[in-house]
Amino acid sequence: MSAATVSFPNTAAPWQLPSRGKVAMASLIFAEAAIFTIFVVAYLFYIGKSLTGPTPREVLEVPIFFTVCLLSSSLTIHIASKCLQRGKQGGFMALWLLTIVLGGLFLYGTGMEWHRLIYEHGLTISTNLFGTTYYSLVGLHAFHVTVGLVMLLTVAVFGIAGRVGVSQSGRVEVLSMYWHFVDAVWVVVFTVVYILGR
Amino acid sequence: MSSNVITIPGVQIEARPWVDELHQWLTTVDHKRLGILYILSALLFLVIGGVEAIIIRIQLIHSHNNFVSPQVFNRMFTMHGTTMIFFVAMPFLFGFANYLVPLMIGARDMAFPRLNALSFWLSFLGALLLYFSFLGGGGLYGAGNAPDAGWWAYAPLGARAFSPGHSFDYWTLALLVSGFGSMGTAINIIATVLCLRCPGMTLSRMPLFAWLNLVMAGMVLLVISPLTAAQIMLLVDRYLGGHFFDTQAGGSAVLWMHFFWIFGHPEVYVLVIPAFAFASEIIPVFSRKPIFGYPVMVAATVSIGFVSMSVWAHHMFTVGMNSYANSFFAITTMAVGVPTGIKIFNWIGTMWGGRIQFKTAMLFCIAFLFQFLLAGLTGIMQAAVPFDWQLSLSYFVVAHFHYVIVGGILFAMFGAFYYWYPKMTGRMLSERLGKWHFWLFLIGFHMTFTVMHIPGLLGMPRRIYTYEPGRGWDTLNLIVSIGAFIQAIAILVFVANLIISYFKGAPAGNDPWDAWTLEWSVSSPPPAYNFATVPTVASRRPLWDQKHPEDPDSRYE
């Protein structure tokens, strides 16, 4: 008898399986979404439960400009990866760098907001429940933006070296999935912190 | 069966020096070696966690015992629980999943071999961190030397004021780090199962083992995450002065309970679904029948996955939730028994009318069936809220969940050892020692955990380091402790069997059990590349098709 590698007739149909990169990134996003859910639940649960000030209404300002920056970076990264798929290197690099700038602007905005809260209003993570939940939730998101930026920059460095071509478009697309997720999380965080929480 | 190993004529492979061999093991990214590393580390911590259990049982062997101090007792039950869940059960199951899933679906390796190695070393680092607390837990405060707040670490016990020193930080970091490892492995399993199946291996032809591990991995993503989030919050509280669980600043201790049990209860299913996976492979082979009701088994597993996400607060009936929450969680908890019952019927349906071979692996699986059923029944008893109010935090609960974890999961895991050890090592485990192991462990198990229900019903609370004489608990506790020793002896027999059979066991050959899944088509142990040529399958039992070309399964699909 031969080994188990006997092929059977009638099984010659083309064998298509999903890309492991996309499946893995989707799984990671699933897990990350669960982590963010817990932080969001904690934030919602503790709205208005702080025993001392400052309260969100007193100190938070809605960061509309930086939100627009981050959300539009989702569009730019999407078009960038489409450009790469079609082999338009120049368009890809330009939009990719624009994405990094927009993401960087957003982080700068978060930094400025924290600076203002800490130095003008004296709100730190240990001040009250609002401070604890606010810095944890927004900080967790900012951490994810930072990680995303590091990965985007890595691709940019390879791109400037001329190493990112059509054959890398699958990987670039996996990275853009992550970036879209980070943006989507911001929609939730923005709603919870700046609309419901105030 | 001809061997599947590629041999190059005229080339002699020299034995490597042991340092090289060790280096190979430490730097490996091979799913089979990582699987074995997972299993070995789990065995190590099984013995350590077992020693802690024995210390607990010696302390409780009679009333007013002074074997250990109350402080040490608290550390022992905390370390025992944490070790057994995170550093024994999880690594065992991940180890088997790692080793078997690629082989069963005809793949070369896991989807991300280096992530796989990272995941293993992260979870091992977690275990080392936890045990380093014995040395470094005192910290600058000089207080405490191992975590002692129980494995669920209810707030505010985890706060700085109540857990000074660093012991609790090690606990938190251990769970955080090993949690990242678990997530990596879960992502890897999902990507492997979905993306690396060999041609012909459609989802409906996958071995149930692969299906169930896919569901388990999906649950891990959803279950470990809340724990990770809660540990981050605890770290914020402990290191940055946050107030998440600080009731004096308006924080909520109950929120921690919710976050912990959103992890904690589905975790039981994360552990038991791979145990179902073992049973679903072993029972058909030793009943000489294909699994009964394959699609229903898959559907039941997926629905267990869903329903088990909505039952967590049945751990909190005594906390004082409102009646709507109590009713909701009582109903969902009872509902999860339905798909579980379906699975038990399917296993019985598989055995029904089969030519059952009572090998050790099968004995463990049959015991698993009965004991898991009983464990489920006491679970449903406690889903009734008033009953739970009476018995929550008593030894009845301890008996119940040890019935699940030892009587269910550990028995199935032993079955898996006897079934797949020949594949992993190329040697059969001794059936004679195996029978000794089985019967000793069965007797010990029932002496300990069946009897343990009774002191629970008589009102003995869990986590007490000693008790007054004359409450009717003494004799029962003596029996429970003796049972624990018998189990320990059985484990020693098992370890001896593992070691002796590794050197002296009968050679296994490719397919010692006349089984039907792809891992048995390659040599034992399989070569590094698994399959010399990519297999193609046409049914759920490719090896049956191959052995019976006159009547292949594929004809009936």
Phi-psi region of B250 (alpha: psi -120 to 50; beta: other; left: phi over 0): left
Q: How far apart are CA B322 and CA B446, in angstroms?
A: 37
State the pLDDT at residue A1: 38
The answer to whether B2 contacts A1, with C-beta atoms less than 8 Å apart, is: yes
pLDDT at B311 over 90: yes
- The residues pairing with B461 across neighbouring beta strands, listed in sequence order, are B394
The answer to whether A20 contacts B534, with C-beta atoms less than 8 Å apart, is: no
What is the percent of chain B where pLDDT is above 70? 97
For the entire predicted model, the pTM comes to 0.94
| pLDDT tens profile B320-348 | 899 999 999 999 999 999 999 999 999 99
What is the percent of chain B where pLDDT is above 90? 89
> DSSP class of residue B308?
G
Average pLDDT over residues A143-163: 96
How many Cβ atoms from other residues are within 10 Å of residue B390's Cβ?
Answer: 14
pLDDT at A8 over 80: no
User: Which chain B positions have a beta carbon within 8 Å of A136's beta carbon?
Assistant: 232-233, 236, 242, 244
Closest B-chain CA to A15 = B199
State the pLDDT at residue B138: 76
Q: State the virtual CA torsion across B243, B247, B251, B252 in degrees, nearest 10.
A: 130
Which residue among B229, B241, B543 places its CB closest to the CB of A4?
A: B543
Q: How far apart are CA A35 and CA A24, in angstroms?
A: 17
The answer to whether B228 contacts A27, with C-beta atoms less than 8 Å apart, is: no
- Angle subtended at Cα B67 by Cα B65 and Cα B68, rounded to the nearest 5 degrees: 110
Query: What topology does CATH give the domain A72-198?
Result: Four Helix Bundle (Hemerythrin (Met), subunit A) (1.20.120)
CA distance A193 to chain B (A): 16
| pLDDT tens profile B431-447 | 999 999 999 999 999 99
User: Which chain B positions have a beta carbon within 8 Å of A4's beta carbon?
Assistant: 4, 518, 521-522, 531, 535, 542-543, 546
Amino acid at B341: G
- The residues pairing with B175 across neighbouring beta strands, listed in sequence order, are none
Q: State the virtual CA torsion across B146, B148, B150, B154 in degrees, nearest 10.
A: -120
How many Cβ atoms from other residues are within 10 Å of residue B53's Cβ?
Answer: 22
Cis status, amide bond into B527, omega within 30 of 0: no
Amino acid at A71: L
The answer to whether B221 contacts A23, with C-beta atoms less than 8 Å apart, is: no
Categorize the per-residue pLDDT at B185 as very low, low, confident or very high, splitting at 50, 70 and 90: very high
Q: How far apart are CA A172 and CA B87, in angstroms?
A: 36
A8 touches chain B (CB under 8 A): yes
How many CA atoms, within 13 angstroms, populate the side-chain half-sphere of residue B12? Answer: 2
User: Which chain B positions have a beta carbon within 8 Å of A128's beta carbon?
Assistant: 243, 249-250
User: Which chain A positions have a beta carbon within 8 Å of B235's beta carbon?
Assistant: none
Contact assessment for residue B510 and residue B441, using Cβ atoms and an 8 Å cutoff = no
State the pLDDT at residue B197: 95
Average pLDDT over residues B457-464: 94
Q: How far apart are CA A143 and CA A151, in angstroms?
A: 13
**What mean pLDDT is reported for chain B?**
93
Long-range CB pairs of A53-62 (<8 Å, 24+ gap) are A53/A128, A54/A121, A54/A122, A54/A123, A54/A127, A54/A128, A54/A130, A55/A130, A56/A130, A56/A134, A56/A193, A56/A197, A56/A198, A57/A198, A58/A121, A59/A117, A59/A121, A59/A123, A60/A193, A60/A194, A60/A197, A60/A198, A61/A113, A62/A194
The answer to whether A11 contacts B538, with C-beta atoms less than 8 Å apart, is: yes
Comparing C-alpha atoms, which of B452, B279, B295 is closest to residue B369? Answer: B279
Which residue among B200, B222, B545 places its CB closest to the CB of A34?
A: B222
CA distance B3 to chain A (A): 7
Closest A-chain CA to B517 = A4
Query: What topology does CATH give the domain B18-556?
Result: Cytochrome C Oxidase; Chain A (1.20.210)
**Alpha-carbon torsion (B434, B284, B215, B211), positive or negative:** positive
Contact assessment for residue B172 and residue B86, using Cβ atoms and an 8 Å cutoff = no
User: Which chain B positions have a beta carbon within 8 Å of A17's beta carbon?
Assistant: 194-197
Structure tokens that stand for B107 in this block:
């793949």
State the pLDDT at residue B136: 84
Contact assessment for residue B187 and residue B221, using Cβ atoms and an 8 Å cutoff = yes
Amino acid at A176: S
State the pLDDT at residue A13: 64
Q: How far apart are CA B486 and CA B492, in angstroms?
A: 10
pLDDT at A9 over 90: no
Q: Which of A58-72, A174-188, B141-155 has the lowest mean pLDDT?
A: B141-155
Comparing C-alpha atoms, which of A189, A151, A168, A187 is closest to residue A87? Answer: A168
A35 touches chain B (CB under 8 A): yes
State the pLDDT at residue B230: 96
State the pLDDT at residue B6: 62
A16 touches chain B (CB under 8 A): no
pLDDT at A20 over 70: yes
The answer to whether B233 contacts A140, with C-beta atoms less than 8 Å apart, is: no
State the pLDDT at residue A7: 52
Structure tokens that stand for A160 in this block:
């400037």
Comparing C-alpha atoms, which of A60, A74, A1 is closest to residue B521? Answer: A1
pLDDT at B55 over 70: yes
Q: How far apart are CA A19 and CA A38, in angstroms?
A: 29
The answer to whether B531 contacts A24, with C-beta atoms less than 8 Å apart, is: no
The answer to whether B242 contacts A126, with C-beta atoms less than 8 Å apart, is: yes
Amino acid at A89: Q
CA distance B344 to chain A (A): 30
Q: How far apart are CA B523 and CA B425, in angstroms?
A: 10
Categorize the per-residue pLDDT at B390 as very low, low, confident or very high, splitting at 50, 70 and 90: very high
Structure tokens that stand for A69 in this block:
């920056």
State the pLDDT at residue A12: 58
State the pLDDT at residue B2: 44
Average pLDDT over residues B254-275: 95
Average pLDDT over residues B82-90: 96
pLDDT at B304 over 60: yes
How many Cβ atoms from other residues are within 10 Å of residue B212's Cβ?
Answer: 29
Which residue among B3, B250, B546 places its CB closest to the CB of A50?
A: B250
| pLDDT tens profile B409-432 | 999 999 999 999 999 999 999 999
How many Cβ atoms from other residues are within 10 Å of residue A161's Cβ?
Answer: 8
Categorize the per-residue pLDDT at B142 as very low, low, confident or very high, splitting at 50, 70 and 90: low
Q: Which residues contact B94 (CB under 8 A, 6 or more apart)?
A: B38, B119, B120, B123, B182, B185
Average pLDDT over residues A82-104: 95
| pLDDT tens profile B199-212 | 999 999 999 999 99
Contact assessment for residue A190 and residue A41, using Cβ atoms and an 8 Å cutoff = no
The answer to whether B111 contacts A24, with C-beta atoms less than 8 Å apart, is: yes
State the pLDDT at residue B164: 85
Q: How far apart are CA A49 and CA B251, in angstroms?
A: 8
Q: Helix/strand/coil (H, E, C) string of chain A?
A: CCCCCCCCCCCCCCCCCCCHHHHHHHHHHHHHHHHHHHHHHHHHHCCCCCCCCCCHHHHCCCCHHHHHHHHHHHHHHHHHHHHHHCCCHHHHHHHHHHHHHHHHHHHHHHHHHHHHHHHHHCCCCCCCHHHHHHHHHHHHHHHHHHHHHHHHHHHHHHHHCCCCCHHHHHHHHHHHHHHHHHHHHHHHHHHHHHHHCC
**Alpha-carbon torsion (B47, B48, B49, B52), positive or negative:** positive
Domain ranges of chain B: 18-556
Q: Which residue has the higher pLDDT, B557 or B418?
A: B418
Long-range CB pairs of B333-341 (<8 Å, 24+ gap) are B333/B379, B333/B380, B333/B383, B334/B380, B334/B383, B335/B307, B336/B304, B336/B307, B336/B308, B336/B311, B337/B376, B337/B379, B337/B380, B339/B299, B339/B300, B339/B301, B339/B303, B339/B304, B339/B307, B340/B300, B340/B304, B340/B376, B341/B376
Residues in chain A, overall count: 198
Q: What is the DSSP string of B14-73?
A: PPPPHHHHHHHHHT---HHHHHHHHHHHHHHHHHHHHHHHHHHHHHTSSTT--SS-HHHH
The answer to whether A128 contacts B249, with C-beta atoms less than 8 Å apart, is: yes
Q: How far apart are CA B94 and CA B115, in angstroms?
A: 14
Average pLDDT over residues B40-63: 96
The answer to whether B232 contacts A140, with C-beta atoms less than 8 Å apart, is: yes
Q: How far apart are CA A187 and CA B206, in angstroms?
A: 39
